[in-house]
Amino acid sequence: MLQEIAEQPAALEKTITEERSKVERLGQFLRKRGVNLIVLVARGSSDNAALFGRYLLETMTGIPVSLSAPSVHTLYNAKLKLQGALVIGVSQSGEGEDINRVLENCRHAGAYTVGITNEADSTMTGVVDETLLMHGGRERSVAATKTFTGQMMLFHMLAHSLGEANTSSNNTNVRLAFEAIPEWTNRALALRPQIERLVERYVFMENCVVVGRGLLYANAYELALKLMETCYVVAERFSSADFLHGPLAMVERHFPVILFAAPGRTSESAKILLERLQELHADTLTITGDAELAKLSTRSIALPNEIDEFHAAIPYIVPGQLFAALLADAKGLNPDAPRSLSKVTRTL
């Protein structure tokens, strides 16, 4: 797991190089086709990447994005009307039977289908109209790391391609400079010594909450999943807005809360939450590039301030990945052999 975390900058760089022209052509084709709905289909870590894709695609393109419920297709056999829709399946292995079933159904229902996968010869590539590949090499760790960020990178590229010409719908005034992300990811890896010292404080942690909002909401889901599958920590995940609407009641003195908070539009809500958690004497660990938010936290992991929220998801998840892997080791667990899990999970 640690080796594959370290491989991410090179994997991201190669994905940009190898897939850029294909994504640009795909964006041009989809704009001419007149897509009016995007549906994302995934499970596990890939579903967390899709959650990020939903926020980014809707914000940058103005096209509504839905996260598919595969059981609607596999258990209830619903027939959807998907003319004019783009359906994107996301799967590390490309062998998720339920994901591929949904893609087949959606294609027959009139949607244009795209697969995002790490395996060029997988079943998925045979059932979709177009395939976008990650180029990090085979992922051996059960806990997905480089494929998760590879999927997020492809969403960056697709949002850029679809959104750049759709300026009437893109009200963000943001240009996605995804080319800088591999270097920011490399800088995040340099935080490993600090995180190695930090995890000793959390060796006996059994429960926690992970919080993010907006473009970092998916990071909260992903880190919580990593803590559950590698450290056996019961980790709940919330947006900072939802957390204040009820779950805050469970927080007592020294209760651990981990936050993702990049400089940008979600900073104010993160500040409000941190101030409230400070009053409750919670133990807060914030991954941030905002100095004010770091000061409000019990502990913090600092990233460069120039990484804004539109580009933060990938470099910000790296400290989370390191935290989970190193905490598992500190607990005497092997993050590469989580109990009851296998690399490919088959469900219908």
Residue range 153-168, pLDDT digits in tens: 999 999 999 986 544 4
146 and 220 belong to one structural domain? no
Say what percent of the chain tops pLDDT 70: 94
225 located within any domain: yes
Confidence grade of residue 217 (pLDDT, cut at 50, 70, 90): very high
320 and 232 belong to one structural domain? yes
164 and 235 belong to one structural domain? no
Give residue-wise pLDDT tens across range 233-275.
Answer: 999 999 988 887 778 878 889 999 999 999 999 999 999 999 9
57 and 162 belong to one structural domain? yes
81 and 14 belong to one structural domain? yes
Does the pLDDT value for residue 169 go beyond 90?
no
pLDDT-wise least confident of 31-35, 80-84, 170-174, 316-320: 170-174
Domain count, the chain: 2
Residue 157: the pLDDT is 97
167 and 281 belong to one structural domain? no
166 and 212 belong to one structural domain? no
Question: Would you say 220 and 248 are in contact if contact means Cβ atoms under 8 Å apart?
Answer: no
Q: What CATH number does residue 219 fall under?
A: 3.40.50.10490
Give the sign of the dihedral formed by CA 86, CA 151, CA 135, CA 302: positive
345 located within any domain: no
343 located within any domain: no
Give residue-wise pLDDT tens across range 50-78.
Answer: 999 999 999 999 999 999 988 998 899 88
Provide the 3-class DSSP secondary structure of residue 348.
Answer: coil
Residue 8: the pLDDT is 97
pTM of the model: 0.94
**Residue ending a domain, choose from 115, 143, 176:** 176
Best CA proximity match to 308, nearest among 290, 323, 286: 290
Does the pLDDT value for residue 347 go beyond 90?
no
Give residue-wise pLDDT tens across range 104-142.
Answer: 999 999 999 999 999 999 999 999 999 999 998 888 888
Question: Would you say 129 and 8 are in contact if contact means Cβ atoms under 8 Å apart?
Answer: no
Residue 167: the pLDDT is 46
Give residue-wise pLDDT tens across range 5-21.
Answer: 999 999 999 999 999 99
115 and 48 belong to one structural domain? yes
Residues sharing a CB contact under 8 Å with residue 96, sequence separation 6 or more, in sequence order: 43, 124, 344, 345, 346, 347
Best CA proximity match to 131, nearest among 154, 164, 147: 154
Q: Is 236 left (phi over 0), alpha (psi -120 to 50) or beta?
A: beta
Which domain, by its residues, includes 190? 185-330
Residue 240: the pLDDT is 87
Best CA proximity match to 288, nearest among 326, 257, 256, 315: 315
Does the pLDDT value for residue 48 go beyond 60?
yes
344 located within any domain: no
Q: Which residue has the higher pLDDT, 183 or 177?
A: 183
Question: Would you say 26 and 158 are in contact if contact means Cβ atoms under 8 Å apart?
Answer: yes
Q: Which residue has the higher pLDDT, 130 or 79?
A: 130
b/e burial code for range 313-327 (CB count within 10 A of at least 16 → b): bbbbbbbbbbbbbbb
337 located within any domain: no
| Mean pLDDT of the region 210-231 | 97
135 and 191 belong to one structural domain? no
- For residue 230, the tally of other CB atoms under 10 A from its CB is 27
76 and 29 belong to one structural domain? yes
336 located within any domain: no
Residue 247: the pLDDT is 81
Residue 168: the pLDDT is 46
Q: How far apart (Å, rounded) are the C-alpha atoms in residues 229 and 125?
A: 28
134 and 206 belong to one structural domain? no
Strand partners, 210: 237, 258
137 and 224 belong to one structural domain? no
